[in-house]
Structure 1
Amino acid sequence: MSWSWRRMWRDARIPSVMGMPSITNAQPVVRLRDVTRTYGQVVALAGISLDIHRGRFTAIMGPSGSGKSTLMNVAAGLDDATSGEVLLAGANLRAMDDDARTRLRREQVGFVFQAFNLVPTLSARENIVLPFELAGRRIDAETAAWVDHLIGALGLADRITHRPSELSGGQQQRVAIARALASRPAIIFADEPTGNLDSRSSREVLTLLRTAAQEYGQTIAMVSHDPVAASYADRVLVIADGRVVGDHDRLTPQQISDLLIGFEVGAA
């Protein structure tokens, strides 16, 4: 892979965000304390406490129905916790109204989804800068240069005027990642980002995410059911029955598979 990640991050500067809380390297980007989430009688999260620090690539794993997607949604402010404390980029989500949380997500959070979520009538470049348009934020010279860095680093320079239907799945996901990185967020939440990709494109996307976190300080939390995808992360959280039942440094795909099988067998 020839993408010039080191140069891209060396030349970039983290912007200050007016009106939003700031965090230091020592503070977690995400902090959950005794967080629960219930839907009627169903307990999706049952007293979860965890921190996600800057520059970590965290994979969130678990059997179907374990609560991993709910955990991501609560941590990102897309869903409300029933009880407990949720801090995102230094802000207490439970103390914020919907408008304030929307502004926080726009300015501090990037998202990458399995389905890419690109606007089909827009070009690749227009999709990348769309969040700025929606937020009413002017793209100044520094930001434009940063976007150009992303486009070149992700190998999209010769496809930037193409619409999503003219791009491969891997290229579409790279556009989505560029869009997530464009605002230099405090954290990127990735929900099954390789679910619609072939094995080669999956490896490229996962290597990109791992490099962004390990060498250049981007914080990433990825929900995945795939042990191979999770093996690219430097931390693996395992969720079962709404609780954190495993917290591990980097594991091999086989070790992750064994963990998941063990929890499913134990629950049977």
Structure 2
Amino acid sequence: MCLIAFAWQAHPRWRLVLAGNRDEFHARPSAGLARWSGLPIIAGRDLEAGGTWLGVTDAGRCCVVTNVRDPRDPQHGASRGLLATDYLVGADDATAHAQALLATAAGYRPFNLLTFDAQSAFYLGNRPEPRAQAVTPGVHGLSNADFNTPWPKTRALLAQLETWLAAGHDEDFAPLFAALADERQAPDAELPDTGVGLERERQLSSAFIRGGHYGTRACTVVAIGRDDGGVIVERRFGPEGRFLGESRLAIGARAATD
């Protein structure tokens, strides 16, 4: 993932509401949102490294990972996508998982990781050094920098999520998908300097990136209730933002009735 906003314990029905975009090279092979055969994972799948960028389980667990934008970093180590699958299939709750991962986090490529279970949520990262932080109730954002770094597109998505919450929405996710589809670029004065050059900073500053070789490949909304039931919705896109389809899957108790 490259852009995430989420509300943790801030909605009367959903303990977690998360909206995010996955930006990636279009040539990288991946499979759309589905239930994985033989594993308790509901997610899209990176067919190159085998992991995922965002996944959930019927037990109400959720995990999402982003990279860290730093062209000076050599990108050595294990695939960060495996962090998400390891958490989703693991026995540890979010708290125990965070404590254990600190010992091995340095061995992965640069990552930001969010983990959620029925009681707790954590942010974990490994740049410049491994660290873990419990997530407090409220609305938070994450992109390819540190947790809650106020990049323009992160602030914009956070504002839209807060508006959605204030309007009392429940299962009307259209406003969140509209926010994820925003192609407006930030003014130059507001752009971060991550070492990729001004033109690239401009291209990466919009929530939705339209490109022939690299761009937004998935927009996803997750909603998980306090009974562990919920829904995950994924919209997929090809080169130049061509719409490829939408998948909607029930989570937990809802999966047995849908």
Normalised by the size of structure 2, how large is the TM-score?
Answer: 0.30
**Higher relative contact order, chain-length normalized (CA < 8 Å, sep 6+):** 1
Bigger share in helix: 1
Structure with greater Cα Rg: 1
Structure having the larger proportion of residues in strand: 2
Q: TM-score, normalised by structure 1?
A: 0.30
